[in-house]
Chains A and B, each alone.
Chain A
Amino acid sequence: MSARIPRLAPGVRFRHDATRDAWVLLAPERLLLPDEIACAVLHEIDGVRDEAVIVDRLAEHYDAPRALIAGDVATLIDGLIADGVLRA
């Protein structure tokens, strides 16, 4: 699983909303407000990095156990794929 390369699905954008001072996911007829952890992962998704690299970078940045981060990231990516927001 960790070799998959997540990317935003067609028609999905992740941007900062200055009016509400929040990061938002914009999709067809949908507005999603990702929480802090989801935002941290979404910022790492660039269509190039695979999941293992994303986990490495977040583990280093948050100085947290890699296994813990790996579980969170996998759950989050699975959820966003099921929701049609990400593809891998």
Chain B
Amino acid sequence: MSSPAPPLALIAELTHRCPLACPYCSNPLELASASTELDTATWLRLIDEAAALGVLHLHLTGGEPMARRDLNDIIAHAHARGLYINLITAGVTLDAGRLALLREAGLDHIQLSFQDAEAEGGDHIGGLRGGHARKLAAARLIADSDIALTLNFVVHRANLERLEQMIALAEQLGAQRMEIAHTQYHGWAMRNRAALLPTAAQLDAANATVTQARARLAARLRIDYVVPDYFAEYPKACMGGWARNTLLVDPTGRAMPCHAAHGIPGMDWPRLRETSLGAAWRSAPFERFRGTGWMPEPCRSCERREIDWGGCRCQALALTGHAERTDPVCVKSPDHAMVAALAAAAGNDASATVPVAWQYRSAKPDPTTAR
């Protein structure tokens, strides 16, 4: 077995604590409590190890990373090691004083999440009254600083009607970049899939809106667009391929190749209180789906095997019960019919404009709605 190429990015999930309760949160259904989080010294060691391994981008996320009191120390340490530091935040606790301290510590870029283009929808989706207004204030502060600003929008059935307003908001707030990501159905989003899956008409309109906006805005506002898996022909190379360039550390110190991998059974994830980031990168769970050697047919002989890398392991698990199967999003997958059926059902749903109930993210999920 040859040694894997060094990772380019480290996603540090500093905490699962968050003032918002979005029903599509990428955190696991079982949220880690504050008492189980890694301490400051361990995070600083992991940053040293990441820099030595070859990591260039550090993504500080959560939950809400601003909930960590040692956030500035972590940023200052990573900056001293030369890492490019990106903070992914809901922004509701950001004020001018905190922003100045973040900048001083060496923060390069902020990804500020919005749940909608306007307050009513935004506060409803995030589950925090007044949250949208605080995000607007945060965005204005960041735009006036020399920290780069990206606005992140997760889009779904309940907010897609306002996609044009979202783009106008990013433009008006002076963001350099925006991410428009259709919901990925894992964890909380899987639980709320029926309420979130867009209709075919919404999807067609969204694709056209993004294409036009990109042509109009070009470099003035870069738009990264994540298309919804269920309506695609081929799967995404999730994370650019399993353990190819990114590793994630969860709040309790488990190393994984992505946000959702904790759900894959039989994986003994490296625990970074006891082991190093380098050892984790070379560990058996990271090797499990790395490269092409693990692939079943039709992936194994597919000309796209080093483009899609078999798609998403977590999605294969969520839909087929087996992480090692071809991502069912792929038209070549023997399981593709189930995805086509889900997409078709959504497309025929005449109730799309009726408000739908969803289950918010919470520390104690309602057991009656558990999958």
Contact = CB atoms under 8 A, between A and B. Distances in A.
Contact of B176 (A17, A19, A31, A84): A84
Contacts of A84: 176-177, 219, 222
A19 B179 CA distance: 30
B263 interface: no
A9 B150 CA distance: 14
Interface stretch (B52-60, B121-129, B292-300): B52-60
A35 interface: no
Contacts of A15: 82
B86 interface: yes
Interface string B124-147: 000000000000000000000011
Interface string A20-62: 1000101111010000000000000000000000000000000
Contacts, number: 54
B54 A17 contact: yes
A65 interface: no
Nearest to B9: A31
A82 B54 CA distance: 29
Contact of B84 (A10, A20, A26): A26
Contact of A11 (B8, B54, B147): B147
A27 B149 CA distance: 11
B201 interface: no
Nearest to B222: A84
A26 B146 contact: no
Contacts of A27: 148
14 contacts: A9-B148, A9-B176, A11-B108, A11-B148, A19-B6, A28-B109, A28-B111, A28-B148, A29-B86, A29-B177, A29-B179, A29-B224, A31-B57, A82-B219
